[in-house]
Amino acid sequence: MHVLDAMSTDVLTVGPDESLKGAARMMLARGVSGLPVVDDDNTLIGIVTEADFVRQEAERSLHTRRRLLDAVFGDSDTREHGETVRDVMTASPLVVTADARIAEAARIMNERGVKRLPVVDREGTLIGIVSRADIVAAYVRPDDVIEDAVREDIIKRVLMIAPDALAVSVEDGVVSVTGQVDNQLDAQLLEELTWRLEGVVRAEIDVGWRHGEADA
């Protein structure tokens, strides 16, 4: 299964010159914890998250203490806190492409401690976003729906084999297929396409073939 199969394409974005207050309102209104930041061409240039707002508040508190020190000791080394998304966003964020495996997106999120990954094309244009919730949802497809997809979509339509010619069972996302197909290529296609189905945790394909090798 690929990122394309799980990502959301209705992505709420924000421009770099949007005020922090405006960005916060957008996040609250849509119930999201992060916003991709794009330019006028929808090219991804950053991301702003709840963590950025927390950090901003911490810096605001530090700034207030610095102003107090400046008043008492004449310290002029003070910094203004950010007011726009550009000031606090994470530039050049982690991204993933639509053809990446879901497992790869999950690995990046886990290793880098992020909750979402913007999905971009080869030019860096934002085309979607995939979150932890999207990845979890990919693994809760009902077993009977998965079994029907194996029988009707893969066995019948792709391999053009009678759906009842092979024994198919699915339990907790684990697909088991036994029987015989015409050749090794069909067996390989059956395993590869089954493994790619949404909700499949593991594909146990134990089939033989009647004629030749994959290139026969």
- Return the closest-CA partner of residue 95 out of 114, 119, 113: 119
Summarize pLDDT for 181-207 with one digit per residue, the tens: 999 999 999 999 998 887 888 899 999
Query: What stretch(es) of the chain map to CATH 3.30.300.130?
Result: 143-211
Q: What is the 3-state secondary structure (H, E, C) of the chain?
A: CEHHHHCECCCCCECCCCEHHHHHHHHHHHCCCEEEEECCCCEEEEEEEHHHHHHHHHHHHHHHHHHHHHHHHCCCCCCCCCCEHHHHCEECCCCEECCCEHHHHHHHHHHHCCCEEEEECCCCEEEEEEEHHHHHHCCCCCHHHHHHHHHHHHHHHHCCCCHHHCEEEEECCEEEEEEEEEEHHHHHHHHHHHHHCCCCCEEEEEEEEEECCCCC
Segment 13-25 shows an average pLDDT of 92
**Residue 123: what pLDDT?**
94
User: Residue for token digits 């089939």?
Assistant: 207
In this structure, are residues 201 and 139 in contact, taking their beta carbons and an 8 Å threshold?
A: yes
Distance CA 181, CA 207 (A): 7
Q: How confident is the model at residue 82 (pLDDT cuts 50, 70, 90)?
A: low
Tally of CB atoms within 10 A around 72 = 8
Amino acid 188: pLDDT: 93
Phi and psi of 162, rounded to 5°? -60, 130
Q: What is the pLDDT of residue 216?
A: 44
pLDDT reading at 17 higher than 50: yes
Q: What is the pLDDT of residue 73?
A: 47
Q: Specify the domain boundaries for CATH 3.10.580.10 within the chain.
A: 3-137
- Does residue 113 sit in helix, strand or coil? coil
The β-bridge relationship of strands 96-97 and 174-183 is unpaired
Q: What is the pLDDT of residue 193?
A: 93
pTM for the structure as a whole: 0.60
User: Which distant-in-sequence residues (6+ apart) come within 8 Å of 42 by Cβ?
Assistant: 13, 125, 126
pLDDT at 12: 95
Residue 215 pLDDT level (bands cut at 50, 70, 90): very low
- For the domain 143-211, what is the CATH code? 3.30.300.130
**Rounded (10°) CA dihedral 195, 200, 202, 208:** -50
CATH number assigned to the domain covering 3-137: 3.10.580.10
- Residue 57, pLDDT score: 60
pLDDT at 190: 95
**pLDDT tens per residue across span 103-141:** 889 899 999 988 899 999 999 999 999 998 888 877 778
Span 21-80, pLDDT tens digits = 899 889 888 888 889 999 999 999 999 988 887 776 655 554 444 444 454 445 444 344
Tokens representing residue 115 in the block: 């909750």
More confident residue, 143 or 83: 143
Q: How far apart are CA 125 and CA 185, in angstroms?
A: 37
pLDDT tens sequence across 136-155: 877 778 899 999 999 999 99
**What per-residue confidence (pLDDT) applies to 77?**
44
